[in-house]
Homo-oligomer: A and B are copies of this chain.
Amino acid sequence: MARMVGGQAGGPAGGAARGAARPTLEEVAALAGVGRGTVSRVVNGSPRVSEKAKEAVLAAIAELGYVPNRAARTLVTSRTDSIALVVPEAETRLFSEPYFSDIISGVSAELAETEMQLLLILVRNRRERERLAAYLTAQRVDGVLLVSVHRDDPLPALLESLEIPSVLAGRRGDAEPLGYVIADNAGGARMAVRHLLRRGCDAIATITGPLDMEGARARLGGYRQALEEAGRPYREDLVGLGDFTEEGGRLAMRELLERSPGLDAVFCASDLMAAGAMQVLRAAGRWVPQDVAVIGFDDSVVARHTEPPMTSVRQPIEEMGRTMARLLLEEIGSPGRAHRQVVLATELVVRDSA
């Protein structure tokens, strides 16, 4: 078992052969009695190989346990067979909790049948953003998935100018040139507000997300549409500005109560904000849903654990991850093609808060 003797043995020593030397294409070719080219063709699924040669090669591969060396392949093809999932760190926590894992889970599921490997890159500050830029410029990935897009985020523009295949979760605006996948935010918001109207709510307030994010703006837009289609006025005094955080929800709720004490419902653009709002409502002696109905957005874990359990708009996050990966693979496969853009349906999950 090649145990090392002497605890503090010299530095560079010890690097020794971990496991036996891996077989190369050449060795497979020798064993199969064919040339390197033929083995390569078999491995890469070229049709121009005789049945006989193919069998011999496959047998040799199996016998030697041959696995192609990715680095060698990358060196010549300059494909890397890996894609990066880029996540601005600030968002990690902020997002409704399972968001992050669910996106990853979807992406990974879609990649599972592929040779593609998934690189995770968290970007926490300016310096790391610059490192990322260098990284991408060096073409170390075949494509990029970018989560959480703010309107002034420089990353999408970078991806665009580098012409790296990429898909966003979100978009900068209506006319996003890059490929993206989003949930039907406006539609979800409309459903929520219609639900409140149907319940007989009259003064329906909303707490928005950060309005430099298209998703937050779309949710606000849906709120407004639902009111207008019901012939209700859109009242500025019923709109509270939040930032997707619980504390933001608390602050906005307090302000709303002060400004418009007569409100009888709140549609919040995130569950976390809704949870904060519910705390403030309770502290103010208002009962949910009797005095004030509350609806959140995301249908995250917290929604199931507030008191009362929260009605919320669900977005198919894992499906978003899958779709992102699928679009990206397509784009990598046929570059130059127009970017695809997908909107996935949302769904209202009714619990007890509205």
What residues make up the interface of A, taking CB atoms closer than 8 Å to B? Answer: 4, 7, 9, 11, 13-15, 18-19, 22, 65, 67, 69-72, 74-75, 78, 80, 82, 85, 89, 92-93, 97-98, 100-101, 104-105, 108-109, 112, 117-122, 124, 128, 134, 137-140, 162-164, 275, 301-302, 305-307, 334-338
21 A-B pairs whose Cβ atoms sit less than 8 Å apart in the complex: A4-B337, A7-B337, A13-B336, A18-B162, A19-B162, A67-B137, A69-B75, A69-B138, A71-B75, A71-B78, A82-B119, A85-B120, A89-B105, A100-B101, A101-B101, A108-B121, A120-B120, A301-B301, A305-B305, A306-B307, A307-B307
Q: Which residue of B lies closest to A308 (CB)?
A: B307
Residues of B within 8 A of A92 (CB): 101, 104-105
Q: Which residue of B lies closest to A12 (CB)?
A: B334
Which of B67, B80, B104, B137 is A122 in contact with, Cβ under 8 Å?
A: B104
Residues of B within 8 A of A11 (CB): 334
Residues of B within 8 A of A307 (CB): 306-307
Which of B19, B101, B162, B334 is A139 in contact with, Cβ under 8 Å?
A: B19
Residues of B within 8 A of A301 (CB): 97, 301-302
The CA-CA distance from A291 to B33 in the complex, in Å, is 79
B98 touches A93 (CB 8 A): yes
Which of B85, B100, B336 is A14 in contact with, Cβ under 8 Å?
A: B336
The CA-CA distance from A93 to B334 in the complex, in Å, is 34
B9 touches A336 (CB 8 A): yes
B120 touches A119 (CB 8 A): yes
The CA-CA distance from A98 to B94 in the complex, in Å, is 10
B163 touches A18 (CB 8 A): yes
A139 touches B302 (CB 8 A): no
A14 touches B335 (CB 8 A): yes
B18 touches A335 (CB 8 A): yes
Residues of B within 8 A of A306 (CB): 305, 307
Q: How far is the CB of A69 from chain B (nearest CB, A)?
A: 7
The CA-CA distance from A301 to B338 in the complex, in Å, is 41
Residues of B within 8 A of A100 (CB): 100-101
Residues of B within 8 A of A82 (CB): 119
A122 touches B108 (CB 8 A): yes
Residues of B within 8 A of A302 (CB): 301-302, 305
